[in-house]
Structure 1
Amino acid sequence: LLRVLQEMEFERVGGTRTIKVDVRVLSASNRNIKDDVAEGIFREDLFYRLNVIQIEVPPLRERTDDIPLLVKHFIEKYKSEKEKGKIELSPEVWKTVYAYPWPGNVRELENVIESAVVLSTGEMITGEDLPDYLLEKREEEIDLDKIVPMNLTLPEAFERLEEKLIKRALKYSDQVQSRAAEMLGISRHVMHYKMKKYGMLK
């Protein structure tokens, strides 16, 4: 692979003739590859051969303005595939879609909409058409007094809140540390340190 990327040539398995190619490789990842390189998980030489032009797309939870456009696109796509008529989201479902943090990003949203289109029996997608986990993970208003009692010092209060946020991110990411770290905007190394600090490592 490195040779193909660098020299733009290769031989077929068992072949002797060198084949020239002229391609531009497009690659994508939901991981922080720079962190993976630093930790020795991803080859540095491969990273720099691939990383000619880098485009960073923020996670879906940080660009909620895109959600209605994506939802409408996926509804049109799957209602045509399933040969269904007019379909739209109920106000209740719109609230759920906006409140959910989408740890699986656009792919997860697409899967949810496809499933809802298949399950819907009328023109309106309701809460009954959504996966159970989506309804269970609705954002709730934070009762600060319950989370951070007034008898704590400021550093203690920050630690208490930090621990709660880490646990919530792990829950929303199905216990996948790399995805939870991405949700919180921290590196996997920092995530591992915080989990160890709060006794979350098994």
Structure 2
Amino acid sequence: LIEYEKAYHLFKVDKFDFCICMVAFFGVAFISMDIGLMMSVGLALVRALLYVARPATSKLGNIPNSTLYRDVEQYPGAAGIPGILILQLGSPIYFANCTYIRERILRWVRDEQAITESKGNDVEHILLDLGGVTSIDITGVETLLEVKRSMEAKGIKVVLVNPRVEVMEKLIATKFIEKIGKESVLLSIEDAIEACRFSLRSIKQPNGSSED
């Protein structure tokens, strides 16, 4: 028998879990216990696959008066960095989700360009925070390379930030690092921002001049 209070609580907390609960209940009640359980397990697997195929990606901003960078949707006070778009990837990158990740990155760039162009600040660097990427396969590596090439065609430099050891080993083994250059992989967002700013100053500084 279903416990109505717990079912109502589940409905308020997570409607998808509530649907799984109802599928199990009606399947067991009107078909059979085995079929009901199989239906609920199948629905739970569908949910897991959706999470894997459409991983979380977020735009990061700087928390004022700190070196912390957080999701701008969760922290509306987080400020963007002029000319620099910081994106965080939060899952493994492999064949099942690489297309979604690529399209999501490109969409973030288009949206950011639409915003910054009206303010006179073009996007010149993209920082990809890979701290949440626990693994990557060959298709994922190719996806990152495609993103880099696509951005370079727009005059935008891509920098990878904080890749894990497992990810870094795969990037080295596939010669990805050799293709993009070691200077395009940095340990922290703060280091990457400083490197981007230095690069911009070097480009804008007239030849032969020096800063005081």
Which TM-score band applies after superposition, normalised by the shorter structure? under 0.3
More strand by share: 2
TM-score normalised by the chain length of structure 2 = 0.23
TM-score normalised by the chain length of structure 1 = 0.24
